[in-house]
Every structure is written in C-alpha cells, then in structure tokens.
Amino acid sequence: MKDMAPKGEQDMYLIRSECSFDAAHFLKGYSGKCRNLHGHRWRVVAELKGETLSEEEQTRGMLLDFGDLKGLLKEKCDALDHCLIYEAESLREKTLEALREEEFRLVEVPFRPTAENFARYFFEEIQRAGFPVRRVEVFETPTNCAVYEEQ
C-alpha cells in the first residue's frame, strides 16, 4: 500500500459530524406562518478543517478525534433540545410568567432564532472551544438549510 505521509502545505483535510435537537420557536415581527409558535427537528452539521494530521499516538493520522467534535455538538444541541427558544424581549413578561408556571423549558437567545443565526451561533461555539471550524450547516427542515462560514 502507498505510504500515507503528508504531502504538503496545499493539502486540506475536512471532517464532518452532525447532531440534532427538537425545539419550538417563532419569529416576532414576521408576517408569515413563522410568526406563530412552531417546532422543528433542527439538524446541525459541523465541518472542521486542517492542513496536517496529528502525530500524537492516540490520534495519529487523524485531523481530530471525531468523539471530541461529536461530544461538543451533543452538549450544545442537548442544551436546546425540547424547549421553546425565543429572542430576548420578544415575549411579554406575563407570557413568560405563564409559561414558567406551566414549567415549560425556555431558552432565551440574544438573536432572532432563525436557521442562519443558529448556524453562526454553532460556528462561534465550536470556534470558542478551540476547534478549527470551517463551516456549519443548520437544517430547519430536511430540505431547508442555512450555512455559516468565515472566509
């Protein structure tokens, strides 16, 4: 078999992992159907990049251990699973009080909860964890996807 030694600086390795979560949201100020409370099975696909593979014994020949990326994605997705995600200041305090009294799980975010904003959110969370993220795709439905990548 041919030797798999590194070839040079032009090489780029990519790995992808995905996770999903189920959550409700709505878009305040939107004039279509999405202004109403509704849910999705959100699918998050993260892609990491690198020019060299690890030489450490445990991860030798790998860009990164898939388990590390998968663990981070699962942690971030689990934090949003089975809840109502809402933009800060988009619900009346009375509404929030009623939802809390019903013991619904609520997650407030500082952005409008769109697929585009979630793509950027996950990108930044993965980057903050020290991973060399290339792009993140967030599927709101099986056929509708938003992508965030930095140039």
**Would you give per-residue pLDDT tens digits along the chain (151 residues)?**
444 555 555 679 999 999 999 999 999 999 999 999 999 999 999 999 999 999 999 999 999 999 999 999 999 999 999 999 999 999 999 999 999 999 999 999 999 999 999 999 999 999 999 999 999 999 999 999 999 998 7
Of the candidates 136, 144, 150, 151, the one whose C-alpha atom is nearest the C-alpha of residue 44 is 136
Q: Spell out the domains of the chain, with CATH numbers in brackets.
A: 13-83+115-149 (3.30.479.10)
User: Looking at the whole model, is its pTM more than 0.85?
Assistant: yes
Which residues are known catalytic residues?
34, 82, 140
Between CA 49 and CA 128 the distance in angstroms is: 15
Between CA 66 and CA 80 the distance in angstroms is: 21
Tokens 């709505």 found at: 26
Between CA 128 and CA 144 the distance in angstroms is: 26
